[in-house]
Structure 1
Amino acid sequence: MAFKIALLVMYCLLRCVTSEDLGFKYNGFWLANMNLDSVAVITSGGLLKLTDMTKQQQQGHAFYPSPINFKNSNGSAYSFSTSFVFAIESKYQDISGQGMAFVIAPTRGLQGALPNKMNGRSQGLDISLLPKLPNEKSKLLTIGLPTISSFVLLTAILAVAYYMKRMKKKYAEELEDWELEYGPHRFMYKDLYIATKGFQDKEILGTGGFGRVYRGLLPTSKIQVAVKRVSHESRQGMREFVAEIASLGVASGLIYLHEEWEQVVVHRDVKASNVLLDGELNGRLGDFGLARLYDHGSDPRTTRVVGTLGYLAPEHTRSGKASTSTDVYAFGAFLLEVGCGRRPIEPRAPTEERVLVDWVFSHWNRGEILQAIDSKLGYDYVKEEVELVLKLGLLCSHSEAVARPNMRQILLYLEGAAALPDISSLRISAAGLTFAHGEGFDDFNNSDGNSSTVAASLLSGGR
């Protein structure tokens, strides 16, 4: 038989209801008035120990010293309640026997009582008086409902976050490559989206080669605007768009410098790296460190030749005189550069491709000028616009200064206010950098009086 240790840890309370309430309470058994028998002892810590591990087959008992009457005068039993803490510790973990922690007996001591000896049926329990177990519905309400509510709330939060992320992405500012180079634009995409009613088709004013133009009303200022929308997926269209606005802006700037200011300003360093875009995407000339001024109607003085190879007009390198025509020549090189995506001079290119103006002219001479455009444009461009840029670039790059158009005429061509005469019989000279005179060009009239005779040899019927 296994040894048992019953430790009464906290207290043992037995209250019997008689004609006079009887109760007793032990907060530990130190100095408690109890009847102990056999090996039962009270330890120094106040615990009641009923067995002894060193003595086999022995156990002790502890009884309240006075008898208690459980019946009243009419013979019915009193009710009572008890609360206690105990522990059973077996010496052998694989075997154990029964033990009693609380007992009611007619006499003190349990002499002759054996674990397997029962003295009758136990007291029956009235199940109806027991507390009811929680049903499945209450479990659903107490466990399932909070879980479901938490899941629904989390799903709603994620849905709102996803919606806000989509809306933020929808109205997000797309920083294009050209913005990194030329500077940011003025309006937020969200404002333009609202102004054009979500870029609806009914607001379309027109369609270009690389975007549509929409009618819009700015939500804050109520100003009517025209918005050109370039597809973000169309990188080629964006490059062409930047080339267009840069060319128009630079042409307008050179008109002001050459004709509208109180003195003539010759920039002397017109090139792609000196062209910037302002907040409204207007092309602006920068770096006036090489600029020269002279009075209207006077001849420019001879100076040291400065500038960038490929943008220098032939007469500038010969005479050292910079004029409005030399700026026009550089502007022509700039037009060819933005249209072809190449620098005016490519030292490492094959001989026939090193000089951009010669290379473009050779393509035109074979009737395939569109083969000279920037390959990055793909097919996202307007044929007429590209041809205009390339042919105008060739015209501005003419070897004779008087054969070049002035900036005011160039702007009219770029804006479509005047038709550019088609290039006719041109030949590249042995030097490879200049054009020899041909025939034609009856419909081009340069504003400079001395230019018409030479210019007449440049343009006519065309290809």
Structure 2
Amino acid sequence: FIYDDGFRPVNLTLTGESVITSSGVLQLTNRRGLWSVGHAFYHDPLQFKDPSDASNTTASFSTQFIFAIVSGIETLRGSGFTFAVAPSMLPNTTGGDYLGLVRNSSNGNFSNHVFAVEFDTVLGTWLRDINDNHVGVDINGVISDTSQTAAYCTDDGKNETIDLKSGKMIQAWVDYNANEKLLNVTLAPIPFSSKPIRPLISYSVDLYPVLLDFMYVGFTSGTSNSASDHYILAWSFTINGKSQDLDLSNLPKISKKEVPIWKSASFLPYTTAFTALFFIMLGIISYLVYRTRKLSDTVEVWEQDYPHRLPYREIFNATKGFSEKEVLGRGGFGSVYTGVLPSSRMQVAVKRVSHNGKQGLREFVSEVSSMGRLRHRNLVQLQGWCRRKEELLLVYEFMPNGSLDTFLFGEKERNLSWEERFKILNGIASGLLYLHEGWEQVVVHRDVKASNVLLDAQLNGKLGDFGLARLYEHGTDPQTTHIVGTVGYMAPELLITGKATASSDVFSFGAFLLEVACGRRPVEITRPSDEVLLMSWVFMCWKRGELLSVIDERLEMRYVKAEAELVLKLGVLCSQLKPEDRPNMRQVVQLLNGDVPLHEVPLENLIIEDDNDHDQLAVAYSSSDIHISRFCSSSQTEKSTDTSRK
């Protein structure tokens, strides 16, 4: 579609302060409205994805428009506007720095499914704005993924700055190539000979996870305690093609005394009908407010500092009021419910965690919010969170096959093959390596075990509950040592220092390796005395030359011998008494991937020690100068390992 001879309300949906002036200019906000929002969207949603297309790509799109921002006083101006692609026409969004794009309580939530290019004229330091005259690319919120000072490339290849708030007309081009996953944003003042050859922003981004099948396109704007006039004079948009060029000779005029169309004489006959509709809507809203007061969502000021927060009512409705019929399970951290988020129709799992102590909860919210940025194919993705009184609600992607332990220990009729088990072990090792080395800070899981490994529809393993143990630390007396973990998986040093490290995660992963290969838990007191501790039993069979006798009988001898031996030996090596004698997760991943060989292990140098009657047996070398590097080439262990994100 194209609008280059004036806008008409018949094919646009306007909300908030947005109006079409008598000359046909689209005015998003004006200087009379403070703390206001203006929206203008094309009336029909457009198809950006084909459900039958298995290529996992969106449609390409191209748009160009001409705008002007007029401020009455240089030092007092509105916040700017965005070109937006959104799943709805964005009701109940916030003005000011949020530009009418999202609510302040949902800024950054993955469930927003919003893409936008912002034209921002206010410096918001808390939003990481680079200055008060920039263009940015926004995904699911107004903290830009990338941004540049507003400028254009001249014919001689130089960059010239453009003052967005000058009141002069400016043309913008936004082009997305879905095949190349490349977004280009270009600016030029009016008049300019042609589209500049070099874009202002050229950004590699995959919009497939962001965009839904059908989306609305349009503009949003917001003002705060000062305001500006935000005008759109012409606009064209095309899917899978180049947008039509705009006719600059026939643009509508901006006048200082523009009369909005709703004040013109032609609009007066509709005044009575709109007044009646207003009071009807007011009555409906009052009734809805009365019915939902018990679901009111009180957001404290400090909570607004952390992204990914979801409204309590959305989670309440998703779980059908936390119905017992929606319970997936219960564990040490609380109950888990299944549900479907009304806003995105996404199936999720909701973990309901209770906690006493306001300060501890605040610190934990900070940590959970930060972990929402973790991205890896073998980590369960956190979709959002919500706090209600002393209760924390964590919303995760839904894993249809549940936890791994239900397959290993007989709760599911289906038995996992060796190929499936080995793929799960490789995946969890990769995810744990990402937590230890692939992010901006080390994340210690603290409780690696089969019940914390969840399986998707293709039986890919994903590590869940990472970081949850921190909840207990934040709420306890700093002078008190509170050990978090599960017997059989806890490294011996935890019982002495109480401090979890990446090496203690490696110890837990060793127990997990043996658990998956042998199909039994690390500690089973009903077994014969020499088989109670799984690690001790595996080590004993290794010394006897009967290592493969411990493999899960349900596999019925259908496994790859070399892989099974590697898993069992690596499980024992990860369980050494001294942390410095264990491999790190990078070495573990390389061994499992076959990037480096496991050299012959001198069993005569391995002993079993009982760690001071704590029932945590571990393998240790008799000489501390013998390390895992003896069994895999040091040059090879430095090779990079794939820790790609989801």
TM-score by length of 2: 0.30
Per residue, is there more helix in 1 or in 2?
1
Q: Which has the higher contact order (CA 8 A, sep 6+)?
A: 2
More strand by share: 2
Q: Answer with 1 or 2: which has the greater Rg.
A: 1
